Amino acid sequence: MTSAARIGANLATLANALLGVGAILYTLAGNKLWAMLLIGCGIGFDGLDGILSRRAGGPPSVSGRVLDSVADAITFGLAPGVLLAVHTEHASLWSSWSPYTLWVGVWVVALAWARLLYFTWRAYQHPHFVGASTPQNALALVLLLLFFDAPAFLGTNPALVIPVAAALAALMVVPIPYPKLRRGMGLRWVMIGTAAALGVSLVPLQFRPASGTALYVLSEAAAIVAALGLIVYYLLGPLAVRRAPTPADHGVEHG
């Protein structure tokens, strides 16, 4: 069981990285909705990686931590940065903002990578996250773009996207504690519900439903639910941090 779980964890890490590469390619090809869906799937595989790693037992290997951080750097660092910087839809609305979107994209990538470097070599030892995790930031950016970029539930708004994306990225490196979601934590179920709502929102959007149709309304409602869940985590997460380590803290955790 231990060996199988370890192999499964490594495969989940590989899947996470490949989904990130796919998200980048879809963004460059002009299909941000598919890119967002792949990033969402990457979050799922990132969580599966942690579950399987803990089942394998024993302390995580250095190589496992490094590979996990490389996968996260692609899917939750580079892919969201490209999402922010590249705009093939509503290009006329984004053209005058191109220098700013490029810089905020670089900002997101740089802070995500800096956080992962720190986490890989030191912060994994903490019983909690120091700053918001990179998957959490990627989830927040996907939701931000759903509302204000593509399909722009609330209208295309570069002036809002740019500063909010920059502020969310900064939360990855500020010394605010966020909990590692364990069994029995109420916030764990909040985030499971948030991820599920994001999936419910993104899948119908792949069919490009027209505004006002049942699928479009379903996607918009699910995105609102996901956004509310994420806001709850950002606000209440620091209050739920467990200061003392628990036996469940062993295994690969994700930065």
The 10s digit of each residue's pLDDT in 108-162 is 999 999 999 887 776 556 678 889 999 999 999 999 999 999 999 999 999 999 9
Residue 254 lies in a domain: no
- Helix, strand or coil, per DSSP, at residue 254: coil
176-182 average pLDDT score: 85
User: pLDDT value at position 125?
Assistant: 63
What is the per-residue pLDDT across 80-96, written as a single tens digit (0 to 9) for each? 999 999 998 888 899 99
Q: 9 or 45: which carries more pLDDT confidence?
A: 45
User: pLDDT value at position 52?
Assistant: 81
**Do residues 161 and 84 lie in contact, with contact meaning Cβ atoms separated by under 8 Å?**
yes
CA 36/CA 149 separation, integer angstroms: 12
Q: Give the chain's domain count.
A: 1
Q: Determine which of 13-17, 48-52, 82-86, 167-171 has the lowest per-residue pLDDT on average.
A: 48-52
Query: Is the confidence at residue 252, as pLDDT, over 90?
Result: no
Supply the mean pLDDT for the chain. 88
Residue 156 lies in a domain: yes
pLDDT band at 251 (very low <50, low <70, confident <90, very high): very low
Residue 103 lies in a domain: yes
Q: Which amino acid is at 99?
A: P
Q: Is the dihedral of CA 146, 149, 150, 153 positive or negative?
A: positive
Residue 231 lies in a domain: yes
**Do residues 148 and 157 lie in contact, with contact meaning Cβ atoms separated by under 8 Å?**
yes
Per-residue CA distances from 130 to 8, 118, 240, 241, 254 (Å): 27, 10, 13, 10, 12
Q: 248 or 11: which carries more pLDDT confidence?
A: 11
DSSP letter string, 76-94 = IIIHHHHHHH---TTHHHH
Query: Is the confidence at residue 253, as pLDDT, over 70?
Result: no
Residue 66 lies in a domain: yes
Query: Is the confidence at residue 238, as pLDDT, over 60?
Result: yes
What are the residues facing 129 on neighbouring strands?
A: 178
Q: Give the whole-number percent of the chain exceeding pLDDT 70.
A: 88
The number of angstroms, rounded, from the C-alpha of 208 to the middle of its chain's C-alpha atoms is 23
What is the per-residue pLDDT across 49-78, written as a single tens digit (0 to 9) for each? 877 877 776 656 666 778 889 999 999 999
Query: Which residues form the domain of 216?
Result: 2-249
User: pLDDT value at position 17?
Assistant: 96
Residue 255 lies in a domain: no
pTM above 0.75, yes or no: yes
Residue 47 lies in a domain: yes
The DSSP H or E segment spanning 196 is: helix 186-205
Residue 74 lies in a domain: yes
